[in-house]
Structure 1
Amino acid sequence: MARAGHMMGRRTRSARAVGALTVVGALALAACGGSDGGSTNADGEPADLECSTEAVADQPWKAAEPREFSLLWTDWADYPITDSWDFFDEIEERTNVRLNLTNIPFSDATEKRSLLISAGDAPQIIPLVYTGEERQFAASGAVVPLSDYVDYMPNFQKYMEEWDLTDMVNDLRQEDGKYYMTPGLQEVSVPVFTLIIRKDVFDEVGAPAPETWEDLQEGLELIKAAYPDSQPLADGFEGQSMINYAAHAFGTVGGWGFGDGAWWDEDAGEFVYAATTDGYKDMVTYFNGLAENGLLDTESFTASNDGGGTVTEKFAAERVFAASGGSWTVQEFSTALEAAGVTDFELVQIAPPGGPAGMVVEPRNFWNGFMLTSDAVNDPNFCDLLGFTDWLYYNPEARELIQWGVEGEHYTKDAEGNYTLEPDITFAGLNLNPSGTIDLKKDLGYANDVFAGSTESRELKESYNVPAFVEYIDDVQSNRTPRDPFPPHPLDEAELEQSSLLGTPLKDTVDTATLEFILGQRDLSEWDSFVSQLEGQGLSNYMDLINGARERAAGNNG
């Protein structure tokens, strides 16, 4: 029987900054050895640490003495943290560290995090950091340059090298040549969002699963003819998801992946603004054509996927037959179709279609990692803090524990590496063992959204996904090419402020115009006027900042 609630009452609660709730969670962690602090010297360089160098990768790690570190915890509304979570107790037993958790809500986590860090009130460990989010904090000196301390992170170093990610990590270096977060490492990287299609309907109308966006349009036209009341293609994420994964095949970036808007023009040897490129115009023109012909559910490009009239409901009503989503969306659509009485269907998560730029998908990518706030180096147990975070984020023992819980209590694993939940354990989010009475995630805290999925071997990633997702991984790995990453162009603190002042209104203009062009609210004949509008908002000065930073970085690396 799982140990749900076997140590209730061990964690205490008290008020904290920004109205956040502090929860003390008992967590024990492995130590890297010594207990001397890691402060910087008078020149701002890292002071010599006397951490033990005996720590090696793939081994258990435990602090010699009880420690306490603070961590920023993001609460998801559907999975509130509770005192019954076995997750905290199990990590404590394996390690020797107590975590003091400052809780912030997911709804405004980014803003709360920034406020805490800027005010100097943030905990030592900042999880859920995606690459690029660390820049402002690195430039202001609010977080630790982790590149100075990777010698004490053997698990991180091993998998960075073993999975051929060293160059990508080096691209995280900021203007001073250091990187300030270590990311979640993925042995295989595939787009999280792509198209989910009703393959049985595509087959029914004589349209194979689309390999290109042109193929998709032909299939949608056949479906529209057979189902005239449908608008067969939908996004459900205000267009941001579909534009993101489509952009690469058109030779540009867009939607969620727009970033700073910089697109590397290999021929010109400089960055240009993505929204002014021919590829961006081609992409917008393509989606505008779908909208004009009734093939695109335009509502799904203007409304988020919640409330009435959602994409899921339209999928169930057989008015949408292809839509954006991830591996979990297949289950959501399947459940909705069955509830609507549709029993004979086949859902497939396909690789993002190719396009004019080739069979190209997003670059190989990281998942979320962590930062350490700058005052962490003054903790007398800084060595243990490094050892703990290295174990928690990169050690295979920790990664399996986070995802599956305790072997023999929550799951068993056979010789082939297949996981089976114990009879009393369920995982409702993945529809695993629905007859179980204790939810692995909601009741016990495993597979939580703060740590799960950050660093994963291919084996671990496949262990909790359905065979169809494994096929999706194979399809992407075999039939798509990740776009090469762009040259680094880190900005210093003053440049970051200036780029924000220029870049934010530029992106607002792009977002507005993109939807207007796609939905036909603005005629494509006005494209040149749109580009002129961007130029009038200081586009040249903005790109000068980015190209200047790129040239400086190239010089530093040369």
Structure 2
Amino acid sequence: MISLVLVLGLVLSACGGGGSGSNGEAGTGTTGGNSSGGKTEAATELTVAYITFGNTPTDLQAVQDELSKLTKEKINATVKLLPIGIGAWNQQMNLMLTSNEKLDLIVTGSSPTLGYAPQVAKGQLLPLDDLLEQYGQGIKTAVGEEFVKASSIGGKIYAVPSIRDLALNYGVLIRKDLADKYGIDAAKINSIDALEDMMKIMKEKEPNMAVIAPGTAGASIAEYLYKLDKLGDGYGVLLNNGQDDLKVVNYYETQEYADLLKRIRGWYQAGYILKDAATNKESIADLIKAGRTAAYVANLKPGIEMQESRLVGTTIAKGEITEPVAKTETVTNIMWGIPRNATNPEASMKFLNLMYSDKDVINLIDWGIEGKHYVKTDQENVIKYADGVDANNSGYNPNTGWLFGNQFMSYTFEGDNPDIWKETDEFNKNATKSKALGFTFDSASVKTEYASVTNVLNQYRLGLETGTLDPDKTLPEFISKLKAAGIEKIVAEKQKQLDAWAAAK
């Protein structure tokens, strides 16, 4: 019997071919269906959590199934997509990370909502240096060494940025039909004063509609009008986009902030701002479609008008209020990390690598299923909606290509500039650079104060920055509670780290 088993084992081993052949070498990160000896390994299921800005697409399951077919063939893993609304993200992600719920890959970032620094301080994200070296060469090639290291905290990389617009400017996006109807030239809305003039005209003509809303649920009006380098989180900033010096200040107690809040309060009282802007959970697309608002303040980039026009279902025009600036936070505001409770970090990194190096994977995630959600045109890498499909009835139309991996591999949509990714690359390179570009704050030594300050901000910031709360009454209380929570200790620690970074540089 023993001899028979040994012979049978040799035969099976010969048939299996040692796990190589058409699938390539097992464990390289490009394939992985078989292990040595020919034994088929069970596919790893990867739970991938990311933010959304509207309802879950009705065809998400179909896209997920097609994606899993690709990833099972390439890395022997299937993918479970877990979209979470931006308004619920912070609370739900904190709960999932602290309860060790299954998570294999998550969106993270430098904003308080995405909470990259606190996640690192709490030990919730894995260091990626070794995983990147072994399974993430596609990421390193696509992103570039400088930007890969931009997220480093304590000398280790815990997340990698998506490839997209890595600089930003702020402005307003407005329904073009209404702008044309009332003689408003969107391109001339190039300052806060011009924005206010537009809102006055629009309110007179459309008294039953809010003129502006924040660009995303959970955001404010003021944050799209800042001229700061927030140094990752806003808890200690550089004024004037980091162009003057490396003096870290508490922005919330500056006269500049007080003046901005006072102005926004006046807009709210005049009926310009969406009344429930501080608590609204609806996406901007839903607000525009329902006729609740005519315009919104937002991050801008090349091609933003076409992207937003598809998203909201009507033509959008833009006005640029600030100049493009590149800061660490513009690189690190959208990144991908592997939670410490990931079941198979190697498989997580292999899938992440596909998002930066595999055109089939990224276009499936970005655009859905060819023939069902889109079709190719005669132009190379240009697509359009499939027959009978448009922005309003598509079962998969997330318009969040900037979120997933390497957007520069994504198809462009018919009507968009086919050279949009070339222009975006130039936009990144030509933007003004903050003097602190490349600095990332390590909040580990002030994590108690960080948590307390975050709680205070969550209590006051949106109300103040949407005009809902009266700054004359509430701002002094807000500043007092920030100080009691320890913001001055955070500012001092950030200044210390920034000075050390600058000296080393």
The TM-score, its normalising length taken from structure 2, stands at: 0.70
Question: Which residues of 2 match residues 465-544 of structure 1 at below 5 A?
Answer: 477=427, 481=431, 484=434, 488-491=439-442, 493-505=444-456, 508-515=459-466, 518-519=467-468, 521-523=470-472, 531=479, 534-544=482-492
What are the superposed Cα offsets for residues 92-113 of structure 1, whole Å, 9 maximum, x if unpaired? 4642413374968657554444
Is structure 2 residue 238 aligned with structure 1 residue 264? yes
Q: Structure 1 residues 388 and 495 mapped into 2: Cα distance closer, same or farther (>3 Å)?
A: same
C-alpha contact (below 8 Å) 2:267/2:273 kept by paired residues: no
Is structure 2 residue 251 aligned with structure 1 residue 274? yes
Q: Which moved more, 1:103-112 or 1:496-505?
A: 103-112
Gaps of 5+ in 2: 1-21, 36-40, 299-303
Is structure 2 residue 129 aligned with structure 1 residue 151? no
Separation in 2, partners of 1:448, 1:334: 12
Secondary structure of 1:301's partner? Answer: coil
Secondary structure of 1:232's partner? Answer: strand
Richer in helix (by share): 2
Separation in 2, partners of 1:144, 1:285: 43
Q: Structure 1 residues 143 and 297 mapped into 2: Cα distance closer, same or farther (>3 Å)?
A: closer
Is structure 2 residue 321 aligned with structure 1 residue 371? no
The residue that corresponds to 1:39 in the other structure is none
Is structure 2 residue 354 aligned with structure 1 residue 391? yes
Separation in 1, partners of 2:483, 2:195: 34
Question: Which residues of 2 match residues 401-440 of structure 1 at below 5 A?
Answer: 401-404=364-367, 411-420=375-384, 423=387, 430-431=391-392
The residue that corresponds to 2:159 in the other structure is 181
Percent sequence identity over aligned pairs: 12
C-alpha contact (below 8 Å) 2:375/2:386 kept by paired residues: yes
Is structure 2 residue 41 aligned with structure 1 residue 72? no
What are the superposed Cα offsets for residues 41-78 of structure 1, whole Å, 9 maximum, x if unpaired? xxxxxxxxxxx5xx7xxxx6555544533422449763
Is structure 2 residue 282 aligned with structure 1 residue 301? no
C-alpha contact (below 8 Å) 2:237/2:248 kept by paired residues: yes
Q: Which moved more, 1:322-331 or 1:265-274?
A: 322-331
Which of 170, 176, 193 is residue 149 of structure 2 equivalent to? 170
The offset of 1:174, in angstroms, is: 1.0
The residue that corresponds to 1:160 in the other structure is 143
The residue that corresponds to 1:27 in the other structure is none
Separation in 2, partners of 1:190, 1:32: 41
Separation in 1, partners of 2:202, 2:399: 38
Question: For this pair of structures, how many residues does the alignment match?
Answer: 451
Separation in 2, partners of 1:512, 1:331: 30
Separation in 1, partners of 2:469, 2:347: 58
Q: Which moved more, 1:281-290 or 1:361-370?
A: 361-370
Q: Structure 1 residues 394 and 366 mapped into 2: Cα distance closer, same or farther (>3 Å)?
A: farther
The residue that corresponds to 1:348 in the other structure is 316
- What is the letter of the counterpart of residue 131 of structure 2? Y
Secondary structure of 1:149's partner? Answer: helix
Separation in 2, partners of 1:291, 1:103: 36
Which of 240, 243, 247 is residue 226 of structure 2 equivalent to? 247
What are the superposed Cα offsets for residues 250-304 of structure 1, whole Å, 9 maximum, x if unpaired? x476xxx993432125555331112122332332233234345x36135143441
The residue that corresponds to 2:77 in the other structure is 98
The residue that corresponds to 1:42 in the other structure is none
The TM-score, its normalising length taken from structure 1, stands at: 0.64
C-alpha contact (below 8 Å) 1:220/1:295 kept by paired residues: no
C-alpha contact (below 8 Å) 1:148/1:178 kept by paired residues: no
Separation in 2, partners of 1:384, 1:535: 44
CA RMSD of aligned residues (A): 4.7
Secondary structure of 2:172's partner? Answer: strand
Separation in 1, partners of 2:355, 2:401: 8
Secondary structure of 1:180's partner? Answer: coil
Is structure 2 residue 296 aligned with structure 1 residue 323? yes
The offset of 1:118, in angstroms, is: 3.4
Secondary structure of 1:299's partner? Answer: coil
Is structure 2 residue 222 aligned with structure 1 residue 283? no
Separation in 2, partners of 1:234, 1:127: 28
Q: Structure 1 residues 188 and 538 mapped into 2: Cα distance closer, same or farther (>3 Å)?
A: closer
The offset of 1:219, in angstroms, is: 2.9
Separation in 1, partners of 2:32, 2:363: 17
C-alpha contact (below 8 Å) 2:63/2:364 kept by paired residues: no
C-alpha contact (below 8 Å) 2:452/2:486 kept by paired residues: no
Q: Structure 1 residues 260 and 464 mapped into 2: Cα distance closer, same or farther (>3 Å)?
A: farther
Is structure 2 residue 501 aligned with structure 1 residue 550? no
The offset of 1:314, in angstroms, is: 7.0
Separation in 1, partners of 2:438, 2:311: 39
C-alpha contact (below 8 Å) 2:382/2:411 kept by paired residues: no
Q: Structure 1 residues 553 and 496 mapped into 2: Cα distance closer, same or farther (>3 Å)?
A: farther
- What is the letter of the counterpart of residue 254 of structure 2? T
